[in-house]
Amino acid sequence: MASTTTTTSQFILDHLGGPENIRQMSHCATRLRFQLDDVSKVDDKALDSDPKVLGTVPQGDHGYQVVMGGSVANYYQELLRLPGMEHFGDSTGGGPKRDASGKKQYEGVRGRYDWVDYAFEFLSDTFRPILWALLGASLIITLLVLADTFGLQDFRADMADQPDTYVFMHAMWRSVFYFLPIMVGATAARKLGANEWVGAAIAAAFLTPEFLALGEAGDTVQVFGLPMVLNGYAGQVFPPLIAAIGLFWVEKLLKWIIPEAVQMVFVPFFSLLIMIPATGFLLGPFGIGIGNGISDLLYAVNDFSPFILAIIVPMLYPFLVPLGLHWPLNAIMIQNINTLGYDFIQGPMGAWNFACFGVVTGVLIISLREHNKQMRQVSMGGMLAGLLGGISEPSLYGVLLRFKKTYLRLLPGCFAGGVVMGIFDVKASAFVFTSLLTIPAMDPMPGYAIGLAVAFFTSFFLVVFFDYRGVEEKKQVLADLAEAREAEALEADGTADDTADDAAEADAAPAAATAAAPAAATATDSDAATEEREFSLTAPLEGTAVALSEIPDPMFAGERLGKGIAIIPSGDTVFAPADGKVLTVQKSGHAVGLALDNGVQLLVHIGIDTVEMAGKGFEVLVEKKQRVTRGTPLIKFDRATIEEAGFNPITPVLITNTRKFESVTGLPTQAATVNTKVIDLVRKAPVAAE
């Protein structure tokens, strides 16, 4: 039997238009990322209806993201195993694809996408593979900062003055940040379709002992008879990004000039021969200049008023992160740590993160109160990923971008937390992800902790007291929960009654066994003959029969509660379409469930969201467990009253035990009476005895 992960992965692939519609596939901490040939083939409604999918985000003309939360890697790996997706898992899966003629199709910089969309997608997909290493290194930094806090070692002391154990621990996190240009060079080149290892080698050249021996940053040396200004490239991100773009164009030119038979040798040779000097003389200093320019601008604002910057940063982040525009700021944070020894962005940024986590924690409290299993799972995952890992995407895509009122609850927390950060002038002593575990990396630590608490609880209490949904959104959610509970109750009642019937038959069996034995074969043959495999149900009320997809409710339209038909009523009475008994009937009169003698469990739900009418306009004519025959009146209702109350009277007629049948087919027709067949059913074929 296929696992839930496999089933969900296949569901996602099918509703993205299949393997043939996918150009590229990757994933980040929470999102599956796709480049599609035709975004119009995506079924957004179906994807959003799956409880495993936290949200969907179209990006530009061809980009599409499916938010899966912390288990995204499992879904990514499962997608790679599906037919037609295997090639995305090879070493070139992130690079260019080939068309039917075998010609390479390069993405992005050729203008296939809107350049702004692609620029930020380029940044996001460059940093995405490095995210795990950055997160791991940030927690190692936190351990060392804690050791500094408790007087075990001086975090910023010269390595020559530190014990060997702490020197080694510093090497653990420096391995990520010092060699970050190599990682960025590789991932950026791969994103563009250039050779990732050549991209890494270009950046690595400027971290070698030989290059470092040329002199200090700012010195000028003669290389090839030309003056080269030296720079410190450790921890830099903009130089390798720009070098990767240059490599893309150089590789493309070389592949056009050099015969294919010898490209493997001469393309990387000339690429290194051209790009390393070009980076040293031009692209590297230009990249450092860009980083310094952005940093200087932010530093000027901070120098003018740290208080103002501390408010601006958390108020901007809720709008930057959904668009992927926060990655340049992350690069600046790393650069600030390397050049200034501290960073003034991360502290205020924590106010946005913890306001976000406050919102989802409030949603968790409300979902527990409402017994909303789906939102409980989403909010729980977002809260834990945020508070312990500093990852905001599960909260953002699982909650914040799905409901109207969330930003009205989020922004006050961002503002209040930013004010506190500004008062204490919080700075980061190391690049870390803002979580409960990394509080010691901020200075002053108590001021930062207070700022986080203010941001968190401001948004938390706003959600708990004023909800996170608009009136209509809340009404829809509560109606969906009510429908789900009705379906569960119907299923439970049917199961309980079936169990009771089975028990009664078991008790009677011993007494009747002897008398029944001679006729056993005849009885079995008779049952098989009288129980037709194919049969139909007639309409339980008069009106116009239409497909379930026409119901303006995703639970019914998506056949989440079972297959069947919908009837736009013209009459005022629901009748039993066949003999059976009443499994459940709502006190409000808006729904009735039947266990028919032919094995069908039937739900007739009069109108959409009519549970909120509290019985007004409905008259219940039967009671639970009552035997009924075909044509027995079950419920009378007043359509005019339903419509005056603002509800749609369209009535779903559902087979709630659909899975027990081989097929259930609704028969839409122009008009239906109680004698009109509206649903065809086929029983599952009996398993042949061996």
Query: pLDDT tens across 539-598, in order?
Result: 999 988 888 888 887 667 777 678 899 999 988 899 999 999 988 887 778 888 898 988
Greatest mean pLDDT among 93-97, 358-362, 509-513 lies in 358-362
User: Which pLDDT score, from 0 to 100, does residue 528 have?
Assistant: 39
The partner residues of 536 in beta bridges, in order of sequence, read 680
At 623-648, the pLDDT tens digits run: 888 899 998 999 999 988 888 888 88
- Measured in whole angstroms, the distance separating CA 397 from the mean position of its chain's CA atoms is 6
Asked if pLDDT for residue 103 goes beyond 80, the answer is no
Q: What is the mean pLDDT of residues 460-488?
A: 77
At 272-292, the pLDDT tens digits run: 999 999 999 999 899 888 877
Cβ-proximal residues to 557 (8 Å cutoff; 6+ apart), any chain: 548, 549, 550, 551
Distance CA 623, CA 626 (A): 6
At 231-276, the pLDDT tens digits run: 888 878 889 989 999 999 999 999 899 988 888 889 999 999 999 9
Q: What is the mean pLDDT of residues 110-123?
A: 55
At 49-83, the pLDDT tens digits run: 887 887 787 776 778 888 776 567 778 888 888 87
Asked if pLDDT for residue 673 goes beyond 90, the answer is no
Distance CA 322, CA 73 (A): 20
Q: What are phi and psi of 258, to 5 degrees?
A: -85, 135
Distance CA 105, CA 114 (A): 17
Q: What is the mean pLDDT of residues 91-99?
A: 39
Which residue did the predictor score with more confidence, 202 or 37? 202
At 302-359, the pLDDT tens digits run: 888 889 989 998 998 887 776 555 666 776 787 777 677 788 888 899 999 999 999 9
CB 518 within 8 A of CB 526: no
User: Which pLDDT score, from 0 to 100, does residue 112 have?
Assistant: 42
Asked if pLDDT for residue 688 goes beyond 80, the answer is no
Calculate helix-pair angle for 406-424, 346-370, nearest 10 degrees.
140
Structure tokens at 586: 């709502």
Asked if pLDDT for residue 25 goes beyond 80, the answer is yes
With tokens 């936190």, the residue in question is 142
Q: Is the peptide bond before 444 cis (omega within 30 degrees of 0)?
A: yes
Residues that are catalytic: 28, 605
User: Which pLDDT score, from 0 to 100, does residue 351 have?
Assistant: 94
User: Which pLDDT score, from 0 to 100, does residue 280 have?
Assistant: 93
Distance CA 652, CA 235 (A): 61
Structure tokens at 443: 């200075």
| pLDDT-derived band at 527, boundaries 50, 70, 90 | very low
Structure tokens at 524: 């079995």
Task: Write the CA distances from 501 to 340, 417, 498, 514, 579, integer angstroms.
Answer: 78, 62, 5, 21, 17
At 501-510, the pLDDT tens digits run: 444 444 444 4
CB 133 within 8 A of CB 176: yes
User: Which pLDDT score, from 0 to 100, does residue 431 have?
Assistant: 75
Residue 57, classed as helix, strand or coil, is: strand
